[in-house]
Chain A
Amino acid sequence: MSNLKFKLKTENEQVEERIESKETKKVVNLSMKSDESTESSDSQKKRGKKKTNKFFYKVSNHQELFRIGKSFYSDYLAGVKSFAITSTGYQTSQQKSILGLASFFDHKEDMRIGIISDNLFTGAFKDILKLTKKNSYNYFGADTPLLIHSFYNHFEFIDMNGILEICNNEEIDEYDEVLDHISELYDVIFWDVPELHKIQIDSEKYFPVIMKFESISIIVSQSLSKKADIDEIKRFFLGYGINLKGLLLEENKTISNSSEPTSQKTKVEEDVMVKKTKVPFWRKLFK
């Protein structure tokens, strides 16, 4: 897989990566000093040089990311490699959390990180996806290529719908094997779990995906998520015997501040979304 990544990397990207690496090396040394000591020297040798991730440094609450990242990383060390992130309908939050965790993992260790989402072209992934390089993975046949979006060799994005199409392709006649194979491509996979109602509507379709979840975390949006919704999600996934790792709280500030995307357009969209989620006071009274 590392060879595959290497192939995907263009020369321009390598130059850009080097520049970033020079700029941020000192910060990495300061913030991740302790963790770096635990990092295996073998992996460094293997990659030749340490990759850097500008998204990690864009995180304003480093300590929080370190905290949750450490928790997930300890699970990873314990043998868990498939982490699902879900919420009560806040896809952007899920994506941001996945990006943060992927960045943390990417910094911790040179590993293959896969992000699978059914909303690659919206939300937080949307802008990043523009910077990725698309690669067609024809392992399942030339007629059914799987598009893999590689982001500077840090992590790769795969559209969940594409995977599901291949799974449900009768010509391939592979179902779980498709997912097994994809799982084997990466050391860690972050699942951007679709909204619950989508899964409930088409549970047969999503079942093989759910079965791949080894651990699921629920994002609770401050002052927006309802307890009943969280309970429903909890009950649903516990019903499949999936380990419920815990809850991630997304503060209101995060919603407003995190809506500072890379482009002005995205910002406007996020503002609209926040406004939509905000209920007028007079409605609050009679709610």
Chain B
Amino acid sequence: MKKINVILHETTIINFPFFWKLIKRYAVISVIAPIIALCVGAYVYLSQNDIYLKSASFKYQVDSAEASSSSIASIIGEKSQGLSPNEILGIMTSFDFAKQVATTLVNHKDILKFNFTPIKSKDMVSTPDMMAKCGDDFDCKVKSVQVIIPYLYVMEPDRLIENRFWVRVKSLDRFTTETLTDILINELVKSRVNTIKHSITEQIKLSHELVDSKREELIGVDMMAVRDRKKEVSSLIEEITSKIKNYNSFYHQQKLKMTLAETKYNQTKNTISKKKVNQEDVETFKKRTELKDKIKKIQEDITAIKLSSQSLSSQDSIIIDQLNLELKETKEKLGKLGGNGRSISNIVKFLDKKDKESDFNEFDYKVLKGQFAKIQKDYQAMIDKRDALEAEDRKLDNTLEQYKPSFEYIKLLEQKIIQLKLLESTVISDFIFDKEMANVRRFKRTSRSKITLFSVTTSIFLLFLLILIRYVSDDRIYDTYELEKSFEELTIIGNTPDFD
């Protein structure tokens, strides 16, 4: 324990100056330990097989307009869900894919040239031996290759670019790496196209089944007849509505005329029957007329006298005075007869006129009435017909409404089937591989720098460990410091004298 304490330090944990002293003390170990580590590192590096790596990158264009199948899908409204990165990575790890690749490899003309030895394997796998073991059994050959090839390739997502992936093939042979890369690219594309096609075919099949089932539901209903009748009824309604509209103005016009004639007829009749003129009033009217005529004549006479003589003679004056007197008396008489002389006159004239027109009014009224009755009958018949058609139209609407979803569904499905068929015929892979690929890279499994780093680290560790073990197992005293630490209870007097 004291020895361990010597090598430890309160601050730096390890007492580095002392450790350096130990390194110098055990110089042989200090030299041999790194040499051993470096030799082991060199041996490990040199004993590794050359690994040939080829990488191919591709982009998964799920929603991109660059992918033609996606474009068509978007045009026809077919929205693709797309694959998740894990699903894409899972393609290459599936047994189906391995089997597909194995089948292609076994069918390859240079199958015997392949080296399927996994890079981590210590034992070499001989392809001719592997093939010979199976004889002519194709499935056996495929199975043998299928088991071993997943160790040769891997798919990784790009660390920086989304939806970009790398297919890396590592093998112990350049030819195997190059050929397997090409095969993998082809198989991936093919696999993807088949998957998409399969999906679309399944959709078409499902659509057909749905259409058939919906059609069965509509067997009892002749939707076409209903739709034709609906169209016909709609047309008739439209026609009759227009007719009614036109007839309506004529009807109202006739009705107005008839009302007017009826009113005229009734009023004439009432007037004649109710308003009969009083005889006294007629006599008074006659007197007033006579008096007015007399006044007029007197005034004319007076005016004529006045106009005929430049200077009035006494006779004239007397005549004029008499005429004036007579005019005055006549006016007084007229005044005594009252003021309704004119209305009576009009009434009399009006009654005479109406009496003469009453026969015509009655005739016209009867004619218009008869005509209006006929028009009214026709008008009513049109309205009734329109109502009947509208009722039928509503009924047809109900029928169509009832079966419309199924009908529309079938319609949509039929459209969908056409779209899917179009899509199926234009499917391409949505894995877009780069046209240019990097050349095959040759390297060791553990790189030189890693081996060097490992060797250096191991050297240091080994050096530390061996020196520590050596130091702990070494019971000898080497210097004053150790002496003091080992015998803390004793005094170090000094060094022994040294003689010249």
Chain A residues within an 8 Å CB radius of B32: 285
Q: How far is the CA of A55 from the CA of B497 in the complex (A)?
A: 10
- B249 CB–A CB distance under 8 Å: no
A68 at the interface (CB under 8 A from B): yes
- 8 contacting pairs across A/B (C-beta < 8 A): A58-B500, A64-B496, A222-B477, A223-B478, A227-B476, A246-B490, A247-B491, A253-B498
Residue of A nearest to B499 (CB): A58
A220: chain B residues within 8 A (beta carbon)? 477, 483
- Convert A88-126 into 0s and 1s, putting 1 for each residue whose CB lies closer than 8 angstroms to a CB of B: 000001001101110000000000000000000000100
Whether the pair A260, B476 counts as a contact (CB closer than 8 A) is: no
Over the window 56-81 of chain A, the binary record of Cβ atoms lying under 8 Å from chain B Cβ atoms (1 yes, 0 no) is 00111100110110011000000000
Distance A219 CA – B28 CA, assembled complex (angstroms): 28
Contact of B490 with A247 in the complex, beta carbons under 8 Å: yes
Which one of A59, A72, A224, A228 contacts B498 once the chains associate, using CB atoms below 8 Å?
A: A59
The answer to whether B493 and A247 touch across the interface, beta carbons within 8 angstroms, is yes
Determine which residue in B478, B479, B493 has the highest number of CB atoms from chain A within 10 A of its CB, and name it: B493
In the bound complex, do residue A244 and residue B496 qualify as a contact, i.e. CB atoms below 8 Å apart? no
* Contact of A135 with B by CB under 8 A: no
B interface vs A, CB < 8 Å? 25-26, 28-29, 32, 475-480, 483, 486-487, 490-500
Going nearest first, the 10 A-B pairs with the smallest beta carbon separation are A100-B497, A246-B491, A246-B493, A68-B494, A226-B475, A250-B496, A281-B28, A67-B494, A64-B495, A65-B497
A67: chain B residues within 8 A (beta carbon): 493-494
- Which of chain B's residues have a CB closer than 8 A to the CB of A58? 499-500
In A209-258, the 8 Å CB interface with B consists of: 217, 219-228, 230, 234, 244-251, 253-254, 257-258
In whole angstroms, how far apart are the Cα atoms of A219 and B25 in the complex?
21
By a CB distance below 8 angstroms, the chain B residues around A124 are 499
The residues of B that contact A55 with a CB separation of less than 8 Å are 499
- Given A220-B483, A247-B491, are A227 and B475 also a contact pair (CB < 8 Å)? yes
> Provided the pairs A59-B500, A226-B476, A227-B477 are in contact, do residues A251 and B495 lie with their beta carbons within 8 angstroms?
yes
Collect the chain A residues with CB atoms within 8 Å of residue B486's CB.
227, 230
Max chain A C-beta neighbours (<10 A), residue from B475, B476, B491, B495: B495
Question: Which residues of A lie under 8 Å from residue B26 when comparing CB positions?
Answer: 284
C-alpha gap A67/B491 in the complex (Å): 13
Which residue from B480, B483, B494, B500 sits with its C-beta under 8 Å from A60?
Answer: B500
Within 8 A of B (CB), among A181-214: none
List of B residues within 8 angstroms of A258 by Cβ: 498-499
A200 to chain B, nearest CB (A): 20
How many angstroms from the CA of A99 to the CA of B498 in the assembled complex?
Answer: 10
Interchain CB contact (< 8 A) of B496 among A72, A100, A227, A245:
A100
Q: Are A248 and B493 in contact (CB under 8 A)?
A: yes
Q: A58-B500, A72-B493, A99-B497 are in contact. List 8 more A-B contacts (CB 8 A).
A: A59-B499, A99-B499, A224-B476, A228-B475, A234-B490, A248-B494, A249-B480, A285-B28
Task: Tell me which residues across on chain B come within 8 A of A72, comparing CB atoms.
Answer: 493
Q: How far is the CA of A111 from the CA of B430 in the complex (A)?
A: 111
The smallest beta-carbon distance between B28 and chain A, in angstroms, is: 4
Are A244 and B490 CB-contacts (below 8 A) given A222-B477, A226-B475? yes
* Highest count of chain B CB atoms <10 Å: which of A93, A230, A253: A230
The interface centre, meaning the residue of B476, B492, B495, B496 with most chain A CB atoms within 10 A of its CB, is: B496
> How far does the alpha carbon of A245 sit from the alpha carbon of B25 in the complex, in Å?
29
A-side contacts of B483, CB under 8 Å:
220, 247, 249
A23-71, CB < 8 A from B = 55, 58-61, 64-65, 67-68, 71
